[in-house]
């Protein structure tokens, strides 16, 4: 029997009874520093959800006879996720599920992959966000220097005109006059300080020559200051750009791993295990007849983030299940979100609880609020899934994420 592991301690439902609590290995992901709730009350967050995760865990009965191996086209995504793990950690997990494996082991391994891929996504998001903030700070400094110094360069250049008789050959200097005459009457303006090195003037007097040399020196001095303030930042941003793409690609790979697993489970038993949610990361068409109009799930908080003013989730369920649910609005307004509470429990943890009513089942969410400098506002926790007769059929996870307003 395979060694049963999990990143988080999870209680699963299997074969009509609660399975044993899975033992967690030491986490391979770094811990984050959380701000206090009092600090959170002074922050402002966007209402639109940056991202939302809503997954339903299969139980042992769902995975009887289930086999799985990644498709060839998704192999690179699995490789990217595994590359973020230690070799010891990788030795305890497998990306293939055999028919001979026990259903309980398959459940354990599947949830390990979901939690592992989620950890990789969070970790690479932090790394990407840090790079994006650095990139933005660099760009702000570049723009500040440009706004301050480029007008000064433009003022110097606007006062210089080369009157020439014939166009200079490539690489040759321009034969210029400071004043137009019958022969030298065509105009050329310098576009940057470097152009001045290719202007050879015949000056009418010494004062004109002194003025030009002063203007040239001033232009070069300002340009040197601009380069000193921006060149390293420009080079650094050129380095950052592909790193951000790499991090975002790894984050997408983590999502691919989870979706392929759960989609395969849905194909296997035609059940419902995965939802597509409309967020800033992926806006979906609004439900109904508003074709082409995008809706984004949102949570509006008020009174220093201590109360919910409004909430709506746009989601579908069952990508490959027999009873696929279309994209639907679940909101306080239409009554598909009920029993909503935002409160602080006896442990001092801010909790968000609500029921989400679909046409097939009810999802009861119990989420904990965290505020992190690198991740923004998040509500993360477990869900219980109830059939219409109130029977608990499965458990799952939900995560709501929000950017801080800048």
pLDDT tens-digit series, residues 230-289: 999 999 999 999 999 999 999 999 999 999 999 999 999 888 898 999 999 888 889 876
Residue 37 has a pLDDT of 55
Range 29-51 average pLDDT: 67
Please state the φ and ψ torsions of residue 310, each to the nearest 5 degrees: -165, 155
- The residue ranking higher by pLDDT, 18 or 69, is 69
Q: DSSP letters of 287-351?
A: STT-TT-EE--EEEEETTTTEEEEEEEEEEE-SSSTTPEEEEEEETTTTSEEEEEEEE-TTS-EE
| C-alpha to C-alpha distance for 88 and 93, rounded to whole angstroms | 10
Pick the most confident of 9-23, 139-153, 265-279: 139-153
Residue 254 has a pLDDT of 95
Please state the φ and ψ torsions of residue 400, each to the nearest 5 degrees: -115, 130
Output the six-digit token pair for 218. Answer: 């001033």
Residue 29 has a pLDDT of 37
Nearest 5 degrees, angle CA 368-CA 126-CA 254? 85
Checking if the pLDDT of 50 tops 80, the result is yes
Contact indicator for 274, 257 with CB cutoff of 8 Å? no
Range 168-174 average pLDDT: 89
Residue 20 has a pLDDT of 32
Please state the φ and ψ torsions of residue 144, each to the nearest 5 degrees: -65, -45
Q: What is the pLDDT of residues 196-238, one digit of tens each?
A: 999 999 999 999 999 999 999 999 999 999 999 999 999 999 9
Residue boundaries of the structural domains of the chain: 32-57+273-406, 138-240
**Tell me, what DSSP letter sits at residue 169?**
P
Cβ-based neighbour number of residue 141 at 10 Å? 13
Contact indicator for 329, 336 with CB cutoff of 8 Å? yes
| C-alpha to C-alpha distance for 149 and 231, rounded to whole angstroms | 14
Checking if the pLDDT of 108 tops 80, the result is yes
| C-alpha to C-alpha distance for 362 and 13, rounded to whole angstroms | 17
Percent of the chain whose predicted confidence (pLDDT) is above 70? 89
The model's confidence at residue 383, banded by pLDDT at 50, 70 and 90, is very high
Residue 40 has a pLDDT of 62
Sign of the C-alpha dihedral computed for residues 376, 377, 381 and 383 taken in this order: negative
Residue 306 has a pLDDT of 86
Q: For the chain, give the mean pLDDT.
A: 87
Residue 174 has a pLDDT of 94
Q: What contacts 240, CB < 8 A, 6 or more positions away?
A: 131, 134, 135, 138
pTM attached to this predicted model = 0.77
Q: Which helix (H) or strand (E) holds 359?
A: none
Residue 346 has a pLDDT of 86
Contact indicator for 248, 256 with CB cutoff of 8 Å? no
Percentages helix, strand, coil for the chain, rounded to the nearest 5? 35, 30, 35
Contact indicator for 375, 359 with CB cutoff of 8 Å? no
């Amino acid at each position: 029997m395979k060694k049963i592991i999990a990143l988080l301690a999870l209680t699963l439902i299997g074969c009509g009874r609660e399975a044993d609590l899975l033992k967690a290995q030491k986490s391979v992901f770094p811990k984050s520093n959380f701000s206090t709730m009092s600090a959170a009350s002074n922050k402002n967050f966007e209402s639109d959800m940056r991202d939302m995760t809503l997954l339903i865990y299969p139980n042992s009965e769902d995975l009887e006879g289930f086999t799985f191996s990644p498709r060839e086209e998704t192999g690179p995504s699995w490789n990217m996720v595994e590359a973020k793990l230690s070799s010891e950690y990788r030795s305890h997990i497998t990306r293939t599920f055999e028919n001979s494996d026990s259903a309980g082991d398959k459940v354990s391994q599947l949830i390990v992959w979901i939690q592992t891929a989620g950890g990789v996504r969070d970790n690479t998001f932090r790394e990407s966000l840090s790079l994006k903030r650095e990139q933005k700070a660099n760009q702000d400094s570049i723009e500040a220097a440009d706004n301050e110094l480029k007008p000064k360069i433009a003022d110097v250049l606007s006062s210089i005109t080369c009157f020439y008789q014939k166009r200079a050959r490539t690489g040759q200097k321009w034969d210029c006059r400071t004043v137009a005459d019958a022969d030298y009457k065509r105009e050329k303006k310098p576009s940057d300080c470097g152009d001045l090195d290719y202007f050879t003037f015949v000056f009418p007097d010494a004062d004109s020559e002194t003025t030009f040399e002063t203007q040239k020196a001033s232009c070069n001095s300002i340009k040197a200051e601009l380069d000193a303030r921006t060149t390293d930042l420009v080079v650094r941003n050129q380095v950052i750009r592909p790193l951000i793409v790499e991090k975002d690609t790894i984050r997408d790979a983590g999502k691919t791993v989870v979706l392929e697993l759960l989609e395969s489970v849905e194909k296997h038993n035609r059940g419902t295990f995965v939802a597509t949610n409309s967020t800033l990361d992926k806006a979906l068409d609004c439900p109904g007849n508003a074709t082409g109009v995008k809706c984004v799930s949102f949570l509006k908080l008020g009174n220093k983030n201590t109360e919910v003013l409004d909430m709506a989730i746009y989601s579908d369920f069952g990508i490959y299940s027999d009873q696929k649910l279309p994209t639907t609005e679940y909101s306080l307004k239409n009554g598909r979100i009920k029993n909503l509470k935002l409160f602080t429990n006896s442990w001092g943890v801010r909790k968000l609880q609500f029921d989400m009513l679909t046409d097939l089942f009810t999802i009861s969410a119990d989420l904990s609020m965290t505020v992190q400098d690198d991740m923004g506002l998040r509500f993360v926790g477990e869900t219980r899934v109830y059939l219409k007769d109130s029977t608990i059929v499965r458990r799952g996870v939900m995560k709501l994420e929000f950017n801080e307003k800048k």
